[in-house]
Amino acid sequence: MDGLDALKAKYLEGVSGAGDEAALEELRLAALGKKGEISLKMRELGRMSPEERQTTGAALNRLKDEIDAALRAKKAALADAALDERLKAEWLDVTLPGRPRRMGTIHPVSRVMDEVTAIFADMGFAVAEGPQVESDWYNFDALNIPPEHPARQEHDTFFMARAEGDNRPPHVLRTHTSPVQIRAMTEQGAPIRVIAPGRVYRMDMDQTHTPMFHQIEGLAIGRDISMANLKWVLEEFFTAYFGVKVKTRFRASHFPFTEPSAEVDIQCSWVDGQLRIGEGDGWMEVLGSGMVHPKVLAAANVDLAEWQGFAFGMGIDRMAMLKYGIPDLRAFFESDLRWLKHYGFTPLDVPTVFGGVGG
Ligand code: DAH
């Protein structure tokens, strides 16, 4: 019996002092393994008298269970300690403020295109597109600007180079978004209501002109669409865009692709060198418009006997400058990060009519 007590003391002490799982496994083998001390003692039972065997056997079994339980308990304790250790090492303060990430901004021109598109979409206009490299037929002829027409010179057109012997029709960088009128009508027929925002190109460069700039074209063709509808649509648009009631003034003008034609001014005033849209008795020209010329309808295979409508064309860059107080057009295209940061918009702020694109 003394021998068993000594064994018990030895193993329980060993277990409690074990530093890791490997040490525990070593102790388990030494005590309970096939050739372990307890197992060897079990084998001796065979040589004992029945009475002796009974008491010693029971004592050995108890000892075996005790050591086994101690081993398991210690193993669990070691695992807990290891987990605690790990949790401490990998601790993370989720309440710390995030590291600021540099975010790009939406260019004012893109922003204004989105705003304008949202407003016209609300009035039932879809977006139409056309190529920036355009044939001179779409850019001029189909819009009733024949080759000898002075408007061709006024547009300061960029012509695409053609190799000698290349007989394809001449192509230009489109000088306005008006050719999209022809494409949209040819593809969709009438009735139709579209706007066409996009880049246009003219050989021009000074404080108020850049060789590439942006326009938005509008086109509405129906059975009885008139100048009155044009005026209503434009006043709705300007009022939504600037966030204040804006009056318009139509002045008789001339464009080859409209008859009659009108230039449109919006009401404004200058107060202490500051421009105010929608108040005062000043006027500022913002777009060209008119009733689509019969020759233009014919070029797009629209039946003149049945259909008529209005068109307009407006500079987007200018609209952005007016609304967001941007003084110099050229800065739009210089990609100066400080400028973009200052005048740019957060990408998460998507303009909607119900959210109020105005003001
Ligand atoms: N295309 C003209 C330009 O670039 C603008 C314009 C005027 C467009 C009258 C139109 C229009 O649709 O009806 O100067």
pTM for the structure as a whole: 0.74
Alpha carbon of 322 to ligand 1 centroid (Å): 20
CA distance 199 to 244: 28
Q: Which of 61, 89, 117 is the last residue of a domain?
A: 89
Which residues are near ligand 1 (CB < 6 Å)?
A: 176, 178, 217, 255, 258, 288-290, 311-313
Ligand 1 center to 261 CA (angstroms):
9
Number of domains forming the structure of the chain: 2
Q: Which domain holds residue 277?
A: 108-358
Q: What is the pLDDT of residue 359?
A: 59
What pLDDT score was predicted for residue 327? 87
> Domain end: 40, 55, 89, which one?
89
Distance from residue 147's CA to the centre of ligand 1 (Å): 18
Taking the centre of ligand 1 as the mean of its atom positions, its distance from the CA of residue 126, in whole angstroms, is 19
Whole-number Å distance, alpha carbon 288 to ligand 1 midpoint, is: 5
265 part of a folded domain: yes
Same structural domain, 213 and 114: yes
Q: For position 331, which CATH number holds? A: 3.30.930.10
Question: Are residues 144 and 206 located together in one domain of the fold?
Answer: yes
Q: What is the pLDDT of residue 313?
A: 98
Mutation test of ligand 1: which of 213, 289, 292, 316 has the most ligand atoms closer than 8 Å to its C-beta?
289
How high is the pLDDT of residue 192?
98
| Intervals of the chain under pLDDT 70 | 1-2, 154, 358-359
Residues 75 and 165 in one domain: no
Ligand 1, atom 3: closest residue by C-alpha: 176
Domain co-membership, 71 together with 133: no
267-291: pLDDT as tens digits: 999 888 888 999 999 999 999 999 9
106 CA distance to ligand 1 centroid (A)? Answer: 27
Per-residue pLDDT, 3: 82
Choose which residue among 157, 193, 285, 312 to substitute to test ligand 1 binding: the one with the highest number of ligand atoms within 8 A of its C-beta: 312
Query: How many Å lie between the centroid of ligand 1 and the Cα of residue 305?
Result: 24
| Cis bond before residue 191 (omega within 30° of 0) | yes
Pocket of ligand 1, candidates 255, 295, 317, 318: which has the most ligand atoms within 8 Å of its Cβ, to mutate? 255
The reported pLDDT for the residue numbered 270 is 85
Do 68 and 162 belong to one domain?
Answer: no
Q: Are 278 and 347 in a shared domain?
A: yes
**Are 209 and 299 within one domain?**
yes
